[in-house]
Structure 1
């Protein structure tokens, strides 16, 4: 069965908003690129899909925009090429190598997990909360940044039940950010 991993940047006070001051530097972008390259497919909700598409989809010209730094291009190329599944009840269609998921979220994601292939990656705020409540996330990966945002959406706010986690990997970055990967503890 494929592993479903939830990965996200988060501030020390738990904010997960993409504009909370946690933009990756070159070292972190390389980390995220490696994670993206290892994933077989991405699962996003509508908001995250549209945000990622607007930032990382290769323009029709075939050339990356001038604002993109050279060290961001490998990430852009990796995400642009990935298969994407979009959970949405409002979108009528998607492109950018994407397919819509409708109906029973748990059953649809479980079918994806049971297909052959490498890991699945989920991102965003709302969709991962629903998947955590359904006990479908196999690994949680948080890159905690030394920033206090003071406002914005927080990590897994509204989770129905506490999930105890076991640390399986930890990595520090020059920026002071720390990546931690966890698995849910198995009940005895």
Structure 2
């Protein structure tokens, strides 16, 4: 069975985007943090995206390695991003590219099916999609990259749950700029 990992940048007050889907609060990551994200992406066997995160990622990474001044890590990230199988869950778009498949039906049923397959871990991104997987009890690991900023509202990282989910802390790490990683595994 595949492991499902929910990993995103968020604000200290728990938002992945401020009001109006503004993610400008995160700024460019430090080289150390970008390297951590690159290693996470390289370890992933498949990426699952909601529409908004897909649109953000696909607007840059298909040609990220061709951008003027791209660092070696950014070049590697772009190449890995293109090569990694991706699934986008959306009922409002009709086309995806770059080694990607579109699912317009029941996201939870498809995520359960994908988890039952053999293969490397899967990452899930996009608060709405991840929230549905969280409510269904499908998230195996949370990688929370907290930035030292308060935005006061927006799109929360966590969703409302029907019951408690007990977690075990497996890693903490501090990055430049006061960014803190905390990684938790779901206690089964």
> Fold match, TM over 0.5?
yes
Determine the C-alpha separation between the residues in 1 that align with 2:154 and 2:179. 19
Tell me the residue number matched to 2:114. Answer: 112
Task: Write 1 or 2 for the structure with the bigger share of strand.
Answer: 2
8 Å Cα contact 1:22/1:145 also seen in 2: no
Aligned residue for 1:168, secondary structure, equals strand
CA-atom RMSD in angstroms:
1.8
**1:47-100 CA deviation, whole Å, 9 max, x = no partner?**
1111100021127xxx61226444422222221221100111122221111001
- State the shift of 1:157 in Å: 3.7
Show the counterpart of 1:65: 67
Displacement over 6 Å in runs of 4+: none
- The DSSP-based 3-state class of the residue aligned with 1:16 is strand
Distance 2:66 2:12 in 1: 33
In the other structure, the counterpart of 1:40 is 45
Q: How many residue pairs get matched? A: 183
Higher helix share: 2
Match of 1:26 in 2: 31
Counterpart-to-counterpart distance in 2, 1:2 and 1:71: 27
CA contact (8 A) 1:87 1:100 kept: yes
With structure 2 as the length reference, what TM-score do the two structures score? 0.89
Give the structure-1-normalised TM-score: 0.89
Shift of 1:170: 1.5
Q: Secondary structure at the match of 2:66?
A: coil
Following superposition of structure 1 onto structure 2, how do residues 133-148 of structure 1 map, counting pairs within 5 Å? 133-148=135-150
**Structure 2 residue 10 is the aligned partner of structure 1 residue 5:** no
CA distance in 2, matches of 1:147, 1:73: 28
Q: CA deviation at 1:163?
A: 2.3
Alpha-carbon distance in 2 for matches of 1:15, 1:37: 25
The structural deviation recorded for 1:181 is 1.1
* Cα distance between partner residues in 2 of 1:147 and 1:80: 31
Alpha-carbon shift at residue 113 of structure 1 (Å): 0.9
Stretches of structure 1 lacking an aligned partner (at least 5 in a row): none
Retained in 1: the 8 A contact 2:9–2:26? no
Paired residue secondary structure (1:43)? strand
1:87 corresponds to? 89
